[in-house]
Amino acid sequence: MAHDSGGYKGVGAKLLSKHDVSVGDSVTVSTEDGEMFGVLMPRYESASEDYIVIKLTSGYNTGIHTGKIKSMTKLPKRELPSVANPHEFAENKNLPKVALISTGGTIASKIDYRTGGVHSALSASELYQSVPELASHASIDPEVLLSEYSENLKPEHWTMIAEKISEKVNFAKYRGIVVSHGTDTMHYTAAALSFALQGLPIPVVLVGAQRSSDRPSSDAALNLLGATVFAAKAEYAGVFVAMHAGTSDDMIACHVATRVRKNHTSRRDAFESIDIGPVALVRNNSIEMQKSEITLAKRSGRNFVAKPKFDDRVVLLKYHPGFDPMMITHAAKTHRAIILEGTGLGHVSKECFPALKEAVGAGVMVCMTSQCIWGRVRMTVYNTGRDLLDIGVVPLSDMISETATVKAMWTLANSNDAKKSMQENLANEISASIPL
């Protein structure tokens, strides 16, 4: 019988194989200090090879050094009691249908208490069990598209997601679409979908969780609920990101997808709209639209066009004192566009000018955003800015650098005049005016 290695390597794996013990087996382990009884648990790949881990009957896990182990005895498997589900939900077919596309992260998950593993729970009934309130707002149609940590997602995945959404939109059955996503690069995907899905007739809402859903304090349930309510009930169409508005579990903020940024490593309210406020709040399962500079598109049967291609030969360079202009020269060799994250109103040092001239001369599109995050670049105020404009650097107004990077990848694949497209407001990525 093949052994489930359960992450064990080297000495540990040999010992387990010798005693014919696999993860999940009940074992008695004899050591110099006495006997221990428990269930063999999996081992994290990166942890030391010299220990095996058992879950004691008290529920505690403990690591035993292989050098101390005299013998291991496998015990007969005990039948685990099966318990009826406490909640059974009858799906209400009259509720608006919402498609839920999962791309990774565990928006709903369950714990295997024997091994401590966390698995995603994505059948409709499992979702309703995790978040029972969902059942009173929408009839959810879940589908797993990808299972990736968001840092592993690439432009080709954006294409996949855009195509899947496009398929669902064309099916014309759904009031809205929710996309669950790991939070690290959710704002990049959100921006990508904003450019790729033009004239969307329904809302597409990206949602994630800053605390994984295997914890009782997870923000996943409330975020998912807020995203679903917005997808099912909002009067507006387009791409949005729905996450906690504050640290409290009382309000979900819906952001315009090209204007949102992850601004904190761990807080629930890490996602913030830049230069504008969130366009809507969801509180007590009802939508409160906010005053906004942005005019959102209404739901309609507009001419929906999917342009899901991206050219990934774009690089985002952050300027800093001591920045080596050779970085620009190197980047220009293999990329079609360079997005600069300059200082202040949109500057890089004059030492960079020759490299920039060379890049622009070679046909590379060079655009300027600001590392200040908030505010607009204005390159006519100082000499440096004016010189950069003369060289041919394209100012990108108040577009945030992440959105600019994604947009460049999209324009290079979809536009005949990339420079012009970069400066046009295609998906609310540029504000005409920034409120005080």
Task: Rank residues 56 and 289 by Cβ distance to another protein and give the closer one.
Answer: 56
Please count the other Cβ atoms lying within 10 Å of the Cβ belonging to residue 322: 6
Please say if 184 is a catalytic residue: yes
Task: Rank residues 170 and 247 by Cβ distance to another protein and give the closer one.
Answer: 247
> Across-strand partners of 244?
252
Site for another protein contains 47 (CB under 8 A) = yes
Task: Rank residues 115 and 349 by Cβ distance to another protein and give the closer one.
Answer: 115
Please count the other Cβ atoms lying within 10 Å of the Cβ belonging to residue 371: 14
Site for another protein contains 246 (CB under 8 A) = yes
Q: Which of 106, 185, 228, 343 is catalytic?
A: 106
Q: Which of 268, 335, 347, 407 binds another protein (CB under 8 A)?
A: 268
Residues 114-133 that bind another protein (CB under 8 A): 114, 116, 119, 121, 126, 129-130
Q: Which of 2, 18, 60, 76 binds another protein (CB under 8 A)?
A: 60
> Across-strand partners of 159?
none
CB 157 within 8 A of CB 124: no
Helix (H) or strand (E) holding 160: helix 155-171
Q: Which of 3, 9, 14, 68 binds another protein (CB under 8 A)?
A: 68
Q: Which of 66, 103, 159, 183 is catalytic?
A: 183
Pairing of strands 176-180, 97-102: parallel
Please give the Cα distance from 112 to 97 (Å, whole number): 31
Instruction: Collect all residues with Cβ–Cβ distance below 8 Å to 324 and sequence separation of at least 6.
Output: none
CB of 64: closest distance to another protein in angstroms? 6
Please give the Cα distance from 350 to 355 (Å, whole number): 10
CB of 311: closest distance to another protein in angstroms? 37
Q: Name the segment binding another protein (CB under 8 A); options: 78-86, 187-195, 341-349, 407-415.
A: 78-86
CB of 186: closest distance to another protein in angstroms? 18
Task: Rank residues 60 and 416 by Cβ distance to another protein and give the closer one.
Answer: 60
Helix, coil or strand: residue 275: coil
The pair of three-digit structure tokens given for residue 32, joined into one six-digit string: 């110099």
CB 127 within 8 A of CB 121: yes
Task: Rank residues 103 and 129 by Cβ distance to another protein and give the closer one.
Answer: 129
Please say if 183 is a catalytic residue: yes
Site for another protein contains 225 (CB under 8 A) = no
Please count the other Cβ atoms lying within 10 Å of the Cβ belonging to residue 120: 18
> To the nearest 10°, the Cα dihedral for 185, 212, 276, 225?
120
Please say if 262 is a catalytic residue: yes
- Binding mask of the shown chain, residues 191 to 220, with x at each position contacting another protein by CB under 8 A: --------------------x-xxxxxx--
The pair of three-digit structure tokens given for residue 301, joined into one six-digit string: 């049967």
Total H helices, total E strands in the chain: 10, 23
Residue 339 DSSP label: E
Task: Rank residues 94 and 284 by Cβ distance to another protein and give the closer one.
Answer: 284
Site for another protein contains 15 (CB under 8 A) = no
Residues of this chain that interact with another protein (CB under 8 A) are: 33-34, 41, 47-48, 51, 53, 55-65, 68, 80-86, 109-114, 116, 119, 121, 126, 129-130, 211, 213-218, 221-222, 246-250, 265-268
Show which residues are catalytic: 106, 183-184, 262
